[in-house]
Amino acid sequence: MKILAIESSCDETSMSVIEDGHIDLGTIILSQIDIHKMYGGVVPEIASRSHVENITIVLEEVLAKANLTMDEIDAIAVTYGPGLIGSLLVGLLAAKTLAYIYNKPLIPVHHIAGHIYANNLVKKMAFPLIALVISGGHTELIYMKENYSFKKIGGTLDDAVGECYDKVARVLGLPYPGGPSIDKLAKEGNDTYKLPIPLNDESYDFSFSGLKSAVINLVNNEKQKGNELRKEDLACSFQNRVVEILTKKTIKALKEYHVKNLIVAGGVAANSAIRKSLELECLKNDVNLTVPPILYCTDNAAMIGAAGFFAYQKGILANLNLNAKANCNLEEL
Ligand code: KG4
Ligand code: ZN
């Protein structure tokens, strides 16, 4: 089954053709990072306008790359939420138009389900599993008993981890998106700054706003005192606290749920220190770990096509009334 997938929830216009939920026949990702960089973050209105400009070009390119015509496509999968409403609407309208014109089934895909199923493009997902979803908008621990069954066991109570990376990077004067810049800088530094780990308790929930505030206060205090800020040491100290808490709660979940499969998903899964720490702990605890390659970690339509295949198998289909949702629950599919 060949699914044409469309993703436009934030600042990437992406389409992909995925066969049977795991073979990538062609993916196009048009990133708007260079446009948003000058504003230090994604500007929603600019993002949706760029999607409008790019969407038909991306469609032509993806079909050419996969060497297919629309008649050879079996279904259309699309991200309906969560995300920026104006951005989501562009991809959704494109999907509905194609489904209508070519008379194809329309599969609604939750963005986080997409991030999780990016792992199926690497290796067939084995169940039960725990998914650690870490992105610019989400920090969640999900338990999956079987394909397309999601139980949220914990999540952030405030900022998402990627959001925290981006804000800390901005305070340190690093370019947007902040995650990759901090990851790189941290490698040159030492863990010398004292920073708190918020919500370092026995729950599966996370809190990152306190850590972010602690970094901002530290930077301001050092400035006031006229002290020189060792940016690489601060990046390293910050990143180590993030790694510690994500690793601790993920390993706890694996043990308590008696699960031997861990997948990591979302843009922050590209982080080298998080990958390293989880690899080490999974080895110690005899857990199979899968992390997608960086291309499939950040937003892309290949993951939507992979998830769409399993949604279709569960009978999850939409009609032309499907609407975009800025916020929606993964468990309510
Ligand atoms: O999944 P994604 O592309 O978009 C959302 O759905 O949010 O994630 C983007 C987030 C940004 O916050 C970015 O700073 C972060 O992923 N990110 C990283 C790294 N690469 C991207 N964070 C930490 N380390 C990285 N290497
Ligand atoms: Zn995402």
Domains of the chain by range and CATH?
2-117+296-332 (3.30.420.40), 124-291 (3.30.420.40)
**What mean pLDDT value characterizes the chain?**
95
The per-residue pLDDT for range 42-55, each reduced to its tens digit, is: 888 888 998 999 99
Tell me which of 31, 272, 298, 303 to substitute to probe ligand 1's pocket, judged by most ligand atoms within 8 Å of the beta carbon. 298
Task: Please report which residue ranges of 41-102 form alpha helices under DSSP H.
Answer: 44-66, 85-102
pTM more than 0.85: yes
CA separation for the pair 255, 264 (Å, rounded): 16
Tell me which of 161, 165, 168 to substitute to probe ligand 1's pocket, judged by most ligand atoms within 8 Å of the beta carbon. 165
Distances (CA, A) of 163 to 205, 212, 218, 235: 16, 10, 19, 15
Check if 114 has its Cβ closer than 6 Å to any atom of ligand 1: no
> End-to-end distance of the chain based on CA atoms, in angstroms?
22
Q: Which ligand is nearest to the CA of 291?
A: 1
Can you tell me whether residue 326 is helix, strand or coil? coil
Between the CA of 261 and the centroid of ligand 1 the distance, in Å, is 23
The per-residue pLDDT for range 235-288, each reduced to its tens digit, is: 999 999 999 999 999 999 999 999 999 999 999 999 999 999 999 999 999 999
CA separation for the pair 158, 97 (Å, rounded): 37
Tell me which of 168, 176, 268 to substitute to probe ligand 1's pocket, judged by most ligand atoms within 8 Å of the beta carbon. 268
Write down the pLDDT at residue 38. Answer: 76
Tell me which residue of 194, 180, 190, 12 sits closest to 90, measured CA to CA: 12
Write down the pLDDT at residue 237. Answer: 98
CB 70 within 8 A of CB 306: no
Between the CA of 93 and the centroid of ligand 2 the distance, in Å, is 19
Number of C-beta neighbours around residue 101 at 10 A: 9
Q: Which ligand is nearest to the CA of 297?
A: 1
Q: Which ligand is nearest to the CA of 109?
A: 2
Atom number, ligand 1, closest to the C-alpha of residue 294: 20
Longest dimension (CA), the chain: 67
Q: Which ligand is nearest to the CA of 177?
A: 1
Between the CA of 298 and the centroid of ligand 1 the distance, in Å, is 6
The per-residue pLDDT for range 114-159, each reduced to its tens digit, is: 999 999 999 999 999 999 999 998 999 999 999 999 999 999 999 9
Check if 135 has its Cβ closer than 6 Å to any atom of ligand 1: yes
Residue 333 has pLDDT above 70, yes or no: no
The continuous run of DSSP H or E covering 29 comes out as: strand 23-31
